[in-house]
Every structure is written in C-alpha cells, then in structure tokens.
Amino acid sequence: MPLPMIDGSDEAHFSPDIIPVGTRVTVQVPASSANLGPGYDSMGVSLAYYDELVVTRIESGLEFELAGEGADEVPRDENHLVVKAMHTAWKAVGLFELPGLHIRATNKIPHSRGMGSSASAIVAGVSAANALLPEEVRLDDDAVLQICSGMEGHPDNVAPSLYGRLVISYGDDFGWHSLPVDVHPEILPVVAIPDYEVPTKVARGLIPETVPHREAAANSGRAALLAQALSNHPEFIFAGTADLLHQSYRATAMKPSASLVTVLRGLGYAAVISGAGPTVMVFARGEEERARIMQVIEHSGDHPTVGRYQGRALNWRVLPVDIDTKGVMITREEIEN
C-alpha cells in the first residue's frame, strides 16, 4: 500500500494518515549526568533512572496525562517539550501537520537539577515520533542524534539517553558525533539531589568566555584520564574527575552543592556537580564505598553550608543509581480502535 502523501510538492509531504489510528508506542528513557568533572559539554553517562512516555495515535486532538516530577508545572498543549520534539522529528521527514495524539507521561527525572530532564524529554519525543512512523520513512540513528542534539544545543546529555553507558561527543562542520563506551563494572554512581533548582541557563551564564591557557591544558589532561578511569582504570577515578573549567565559576549559584563536593573530595571520593547542577554525582568504587559515601551525604546536614539554603533547612535525596547500559527503549504496537 502506498504511503498517504499530499500532492503538490516535489519533496516528501505526508498526511497524518501515514500513522494509523490505534498505533501506540511506549518509550522508556534514562536520565543522564553530563560533564562528569572535566568533560565539559563532551562527556555524559546514562543513569538507570527513567521517565516513561506512552503515545497513542487517536482520531483528532491532543490529550495529556502527566504524572510525577514537574507534572503541575509543564504545559499540556503543543508547547510541551515532548510535543515540540515529536513535531520536529516529523517535519524532518515531511509530516508537517500534527496527528491526533494521546500522551501519557510518567516522570521520575527531576527538573532543573542537572540530570538531563530536558534532554530526556527531547529523546522521548523524537524516539516516539520516529517509532510511530512506518519503517520505510523512519529517521536513521544519526538523524535522530542530530535532531536531539540540535534541540538541546549539544549532545552531552541526549547521547547517553539515546545510547546508554558513557558517551564521548564532539561536533564539527558535518554535525554531531558520539562514541558510546562501556563503563567499568566497579564504578557505581551515587546521586544527591537537593530540594532547590538551578536553571541551566543561569548556570551556563556564570562561565566566562575565556579561561587561562594553563587551566584549559590541565583540564584536557584530566578529561582524557577520566575516559580511561571510567572505562578501564577505576583506580584513577578521583584524579580523573578533577575539574578546572566550569564548577568553580558556578559555585555561587549552588553553594550547598559546591560545599558537598568539597567535603566529599576532601575524604577522597570522586564527587562532581552533575551537569549544570545542583545535583551532586559521586562515582564509588564498589558497593562498600558506595555505602560509605551515602552515609557521609546523609550525615552532611549538620555542615553549615551543605545543610542550609537561603535560610532554610535543605533536604537531600540520596540514591544509588546504576549506569544504564541500553539507552532509550521503545516498543510499538497496534491496538484495536
């Protein structure tokens, strides 16, 4: 059966009927932590902490069911980031009119905390839109990476959510490129999520346009070491997570998180700011060290700067979160009308 196209264009221009009513996709997308200390805008890991999105093609309209993190704060219309991502993916193949959609989103990834919530939403939307299409017109993996990275501005969060594991990314005149790398099984993350937010735009705005050459050179060496520490030599994880490029400049916007990193690194633990913060990520070496790290964080509330924020007591969620190894997971089915 030929695909339903709209006449009058030399390029592919599909009707919403290309997606049959009753088609449903379920997307499970992992959180991510970017930068990892010195790997600013170039490294990220995928975390086994997931948002879920279920999208069903309906006759007409846009219906939303939202639950979990941020459910009371995000729009329930075409301005929702997931819908924007779906629309962007469809326009890339020539489907310009949104079909009728029922969307059910269950969010675990906290917003504005440095765990890739916006990147996960983009990956979920683009992946769902692509899976709803007939196989013969779907975007390939590289096109998905380009669209997701273009919407996010860089691939350091979207690539781990797409591919899982540690991902090293870079851009050139031909687009974005990402290399997934297995993480050594001894590396076990801990995340400490505070109950305050730092918008990514604010955090990025604190970084100067230029840094001393000596600091940049030293940071490049630590970033190279970090890649080896995470993949093959976990004994170097503490040295590999030392950053000279961005965390110190952002500290004023997240003083409790910066103080917690200082406390943990003072004890020899590989602590960093996760993404743009304010979540703190710690790479433990084995279960025993992970348990010790969690105890330190849970008892850090007595520290004068770690335990308070803007004059109030600060609460931290402390979670052992494993490295996700699969990236985004997608299932497609046809349901009865």
Q: How confident is the model at residue 6 (pLDDT cuts 50, 70, 90)?
A: low
Average pLDDT across the chain, whole number: 93
Q: Please check the confidence at residue 12 and state whether its pLDDT lies above 80.
A: no
Query: In this structure, are residues 293 and 190 in contact, taking their beta carbons and an 8 Å threshold?
Result: yes
248 is in an annotated binding site: no
Closest by CA to 37, choosing from 259, 200, 225, 199, is 225
For 217, counting Cβ atoms within 10 Å of its Cβ (0-12 exposed, 13-18 middle, 19+ buried), the class is exposed
Q: Please check the confidence at residue 3 and state whether its pLDDT lies above 80.
A: no
94 is in an annotated binding site: no
Query: In this structure, are residues 37 and 230 in contact, taking their beta carbons and an 8 Å threshold?
Result: no
Task: Quote the tokens at residue 255.
Answer: 């003083």
State residue 158's pLDDT score.
98
State residue 2's pLDDT score.
59
Given CA atoms 39, 43, 47, 53 in this order, what sign does their dihedral have? positive
Q: Please check the confidence at residue 224 and state whether its pLDDT lies above 70.
A: yes
Q: Please check the confidence at residue 9 and state whether its pLDDT lies above 70.
A: no
Q: How confident is the model at residue 201 (pLDDT cuts 50, 70, 90)?
A: confident
Query: Could you tell me the pTM of the whole model?
Result: 0.94
Coil/strand/helix, residue 266: helix
Between CA 238 and CA 266 the distance in angstroms is 11
Domain boundaries, the chain: 16-177+324-334, 187-320
161 is in an annotated binding site: no
118 is in an annotated binding site: yes
Q: What is the CATH number of domain 187-320?
A: 3.30.70.890
Q: Please check the confidence at residue 36 and state whether its pLDDT lies above 80.
A: yes
Determine which helix (DSSP H) or strand (DSSP E) holds 51, and give its type and residue range: strand 39-57
Could you report the per-residue pLDDT of 237-275, keeping only the tens digit for each?
999 999 999 999 999 999 999 999 999 999 999 999 999
Q: What is the CATH number of domain 16-177+324-334?
A: 3.30.230.10
Q: Please check the confidence at residue 5 and state whether its pLDDT lies above 80.
A: no
Largest CA distance in the chain: 69
Q: Please check the confidence at residue 181 and state whether its pLDDT lies above 80.
A: yes
State residue 10's pLDDT score.
53
Between CA 122 and CA 152 the distance in angstroms is 8
Q: How far is CA 62 from the centre of its chain?
A: 25
114 is in an annotated binding site: yes
Task: Quote the tokens at residue 330.
Answer: 């997608």
State residue 303's pLDDT score.
80
Query: In this structure, are residues 246 and 35 in contact, taking their beta carbons and an 8 Å threshold?
Result: yes
277 is in an annotated binding site: no
State residue 7's pLDDT score.
54
113 is in an annotated binding site: yes
110 is in an annotated binding site: yes
Closest by CA to 242, choosing from 262, 261, 219, is 219
Of 5-9, 170-174, 274-278, 283-287, least confident by mean pLDDT is 5-9
